[in-house]
Amino acid sequence: MSINYDGKVAIVTGAGGGLGRCHAIELAKRGAKVVVNDLGGSVDGTGAGSEAAQAVVAEIEAAGGAAIANGANVAKFEEVELMVKQAMDTWGRVDILVNNAGILRDKSFAKGTLEDYKLVLDVHLMGSVNCTKACWEIMREQAYGRIVVTTSSSGLYGNFGQTNYGSAKMGVIGMMNTLAQEGAKYNIKVNALAPTAGTRMTEGLIPEEAFQLLTPETVTPAVLFLVSEDAPTRTILGAGAGSFAVARIVESAGKWLPPEEQTPEGIAAHWDEITSTAGETQPQMGAEQTMKMVGLAMEGLGIKQD
């Protein structure tokens, strides 16, 4: 099966370098018309310039593809709206959105400032919200959309010195979980990429030998799959060094405690049963937790369930 994007229009944010550049180039190679968005700032989000995005556009065009550059700051909705308008004015549709733009302000929680915390959330989380919101009605009306948010192991599992980054990266998972439900009847699929790549955001954090294996080119195939016509939805796909894995949020089967044991001491006494991995499930919506808890209670109380 060959995957291509002929006739499709894609927006890739933070596409002036690293992962975003690779995503944009490979989408264009397979037929997509691409909006190459990049603010042109440094890793910490300071500064701006259009040279990086324009260079990627030139590279795509030299290979026979179609692309336009855009310098919108994804943290500013008004600029994002103009970016989407540019895509619509140029090509008349938006089929694919890859939320890739990001910055780092790494510091331990004790030393980091709230200003840095808010800035990281604004770019990673609100940037993804802004871009998705600006495309959402277009995708609904055309009954087609493929959206990728970029999460991270720092959000899924934690990483010292990245409380701000990890909070934002877990936030986009909550966004994905709900939008995948809301977009289903409009053929809008929403997925998350959890990349491990040797880019300017990870340089110096990873041993050189490993850094050389973690090329953006080994991650981008995951994005190409997640924005394809037959893509899954609501999937967290990890990628790095040519390896791919799916992360899942699971919940233990749970344990109902009788009223006299519904105490912190009761929880402690039954902790092994409560945390047992036997019977773990992967809920598909929040209400499933409520239904499970009520079901366990009714069973424990001997109340007949219809």
Backbone angles phi, psi at 299, to 5 degrees: -65, -45
Radius of gyration of the chain (CA): 22
Residues with catalytic annotation? 165
Q: How confident is the model at residue 50, as a pLDDT?
A: 78
Residue 238, strand partner residues: 194, 245
Q: Looking at residues 86-101, what average pLDDT do you find?
A: 98
> Does 246 score more than 60 pLDDT?
yes
- Residue 29, CA distances (Å) to 66, 67, 90, 231 in order: 9, 11, 19, 19
Q: Rounded mean pLDDT of the chain?
A: 94
> Does 43 score more than 70 pLDDT?
no
Q: Give tens-digit pLDDT for 1-20.
A: 899 999 999 999 999 999 99
- Comparing CA positions, the residue from 150, 220, 148, 245 lying closest to residue 189 is 148
% of the chain with per-residue pLDDT over 70: 94
Buried b / exposed e over 24-35, threshold 16 CB at 10 Å, is bbbbbbbebbbb
Tokens of 51: 């040279």
Q: Give tens-digit pLDDT for 189-206.
A: 999 999 987 655 566 666
For residue 257, count other CB atoms closer than 10 A to its CB: 17
* pTM across the whole model: 0.94
% of the chain with per-residue pLDDT over 90: 89
Give alpha helix (H) positions in the chain: 18-29, 51-62, 77-91, 114-121, 127-142, 153-156, 163-183, 208-213, 220-226, 264-269, 271-274, 287-301
With contact defined as beta carbons under 8 Å apart, do 193 and 223 qualify? yes
Q: How confident is the model at residue 293, as a pLDDT?
A: 95
Q: Looking at residues 243-269, what average pLDDT do you find?
A: 98
Domains and CATH numbers, the chain: 9-247 (3.40.50.720), 259-301 (no CATH)
